[in-house]
Structure 1
Amino acid sequence: MANWYAIRARGTGAEVAIYDEIGAYGVSAKGFLTELGALPEGTPVDLRLNSPGGSVFDAVAIHNALKRHEGTVTVWIDGIAASAASYIAMAGDEIVMPENAFLMIHDPAGLVMGTAEDMRAMAEALDKVKGSLVSGYAAKSGRTPDDVSALMAAETWFDASDAVAQGFADRLIEPVRIAARFDIGRFRNAPPDLVEAIEAEPEPNAECDGREIEADEDTDAAAEGDPVEGAKDEPAATSDDPRPSAVTLPPSGAPPDPDAIRAEAIGHARAVVDLCRLAGQPQMAGRFLEEDASLDAVRAALLAAKAEAEPEIAPHHPQPGRSSAARPWGEIVARTFKLKG
């Protein structure tokens, strides 16, 4: 099972790296909490964040565990701490941001399918989750809960200077090169500077596999054996799985670059997962990855699945699947026009 985090004991404490979507690839916070709890009591922790967010429930659990930790927790935002990742950052006794890093807070979101009662239950759950998040942001920043709630509703992005000025971070350091390539298209207010920085990043190479950060020496990120290199092993992303349909082959006669192959495979896997999530069919991602399906094939299959699940007219309460008594809307519309013509 792939990981989106890494925890490593060091001579002077422990270093924790969260360099991907929180709770991604089926790995919950349970393993994270187990490893964190195994650290000796009072161990200082350096938490390195570069994440677009993820599962809010996992983030709340991680935040609470870090707050309970007896040792000092220093958070280094190496690039982006957005959405749920920003809430984890609030657990730090000190939050350090390079001048070109970003932090984002917004309202929690969720998906639900069912009755009106199901919808109301989801809304109530989201309200409760937001209340918990507001408390954490307000406690760290010193701002009022009403101020924080308004900032979340507006999906507010802070650069490092703004984050420090408004209490969401404590200290600035020299800029770093943001090498992690996240899809921030899901966010409506992403700063143009951040979008340009991500789009302008060169393709990953042997020195930078798309996740590593060239950090200020104060962060000790360049220490030998930095765990960021192994912070996550996405599905089908190993160097011995070249994924010929998704990976660009080197020029004839040139030896294959394992790091480039791995990076492109990671990008392909992430794109497949994102497409499935947007289509509301996350369970289909595993099959597409096993079949080494191209993105065009994935889109076509998802559209076909959506068409198959077209709304129906039935005399009873709608149930999953197609009943023999139900007719799809498309058939009814076509028949109506045929009769009128």
Structure 2
Amino acid sequence: MKINKNYIMKGSNKRAKISIYGDVGMISGDIKKDLDSFGDVNEIHYQINSYGGYVSEGFTIADDIINTGAKLISEGMGIVASIAAYLLIIPDKNKGGEVWAHENTIIMFHNPSGGAWGEAKLLRAEADALEKIEDILINTIMKRIKGLTKEEVRQKVADTWYLTAKEAKALGLVDKVLEKIEVEEPKTDLKMIIPENFKRIAFTNNIHAEPKSANKGVDMPKCKCGKEIAEGQEMCFECAVKKEKEEAKAAEKNRIQNINVICRASNLSDEFINKLIDSGKTVEQCS
């Protein structure tokens, strides 16, 4: 695994995964070096959550991953804006490329901006360069867009264009919207078998099953359910058992949810996920 302050990269079995979280800054050289260290790759899956950054860096990263000849799968998360939005949509459908976005992702396109200082000729050259960069962005959008003309797209980009994942999918910019994973209630039998004699021993927090008043007529503390409990106890035995069951159920649900989220993010098969769930182990225990 390669870790940079703005990205994480890992690779195995001729597949590479890159997670870009933050500015598209001076990272293209490091990404190229790390990608080359994996040798030939057949698939590059890259996640992006970024407000954008340097156009030149975005173009370089795009060229480097396209030139590998690998199948490209991009995945938008959070906010994907400016040059990051360009990176999101470069996978070529004709070569099996795919663009994914989580359902709460916001995608934003706008015209490039820059600055220059000097004589009029230099300022005009800077303006011309910005328009050429704008054309590259528009042409990249047009490779995927449907239902809009080039001039309509150009105007939307000039106005700063925000899209939800579903809006982007409707226009062809995104191929698949990744919806939230719904985790089913655990099927594990969580019934607790407690020996009768155990009820006569301290259970949890010094809880006894049948507290008795030392003196009749003296008000005893009560559990929230209304039953009398011994001095110093937090709850009655039945409520303690119920609490233990609820905590066990919540822990099991959390275990299954973590397995689904982590394994699906790593593109592991349903068969593997189901076996891991049935084993009762966590992802960490299998690492």
TM class, shorter-length: 0.5 to 0.7
Bigger CA radius of gyration: 2
Residue-by-residue CA offset, 1:224-281 (whole Å, 9 max, x unaligned): 79xxxxxxxxxxxxxxxxxxxxxxxxxxxxxxxxxxxxxxxxxxxxxxxxxxxxxxxx
1:77 Cα shift?
1.0
The reply on whether 1:133 has 2:137 as its aligned counterpart is yes
Query: Quick check: 2:14–2:40 contact (8 Å CA) kept in 1?
Result: no
Instruction: Report the equivalent of 1:35.
Output: 34
Q: Closer, same or farther in 2 for the Cα pair 1:47/1:28, shift >3 Å?
A: closer
Q: Percent of aligned pairs with the same residue?
A: 23
Instruction: Report the equivalent of 1:220.
Output: 266
Query: Quick check: 1:109–1:126 contact (8 Å CA) kept in 2?
Result: yes
Q: Closer, same or farther in 2 for the Cα pair 1:38/1:12, shift >3 Å?
A: closer
Q: Which has the higher contact order (CA 8 A, sep 6+)?
A: 1
The runs of 5 or more residues in structure 2 that have no matched partner are 92-96, 182-259, 269-281
Instruction: Report the equivalent of 1:97.
Output: 101
Task: For 1:120 and 1:7, locate their aligned partners in 2 and report how far apart those are by CA, in whole Å.
Answer: 40
2:144 aligns to what SS in structure 1? helix
The amino acid across from 1:31 in the alignment is D
The amino acid across from 2:35 in the alignment is L
Aligned mate of 1:122, from 121, 126, 129: 126
Query: Quick check: 1:74–1:94 contact (8 Å CA) kept in 2?
Result: yes
Equivalences for 1:12-23 in 2 at 5 Å? 13-23=15-25
1:138 Cα shift?
1.1
TM-score by length of 1: 0.49
1:217 Cα shift?
5.5
1:39 Cα shift?
3.4
Query: Quick check: 2:23–2:50 contact (8 Å CA) kept in 1?
Result: yes
1:104 Cα shift?
0.7
Instruction: Report the equivalent of 1:72.
Output: 71
Query: Quick check: 1:106–1:152 contact (8 Å CA) kept in 2?
Result: yes
> Where do 4+ consecutive residues of structure 1 move more than 4 Å?
214-217, 221-225
Equivalences for 1:131-280 in 2 at 5 Å? 131-142=135-146, 143-175=148-180, 218-220=264-266
Query: Quick check: 1:41–1:70 contact (8 Å CA) kept in 2?
Result: no
Q: Closer, same or farther in 2 for the Cα pair 1:89/1:224, shift >3 Å?
A: farther
1:88 Cα shift?
0.6
2:100 aligns to what SS in structure 1? strand
The reply on whether 1:111 has 2:76 as its aligned counterpart is no
The runs of 5 or more residues in structure 1 that have no matched partner are 177-213, 226-341
The amino acid across from 1:83 in the alignment is S
1:134 Cα shift?
1.2
The reply on whether 1:53 has 2:52 as its aligned counterpart is yes
Instruction: Report the equivalent of 2:229.
Output: none
Task: For 2:140 and 2:44, locate their aligned partners in 1 and report how far apart those are by CA, in whole Å.
Answer: 19
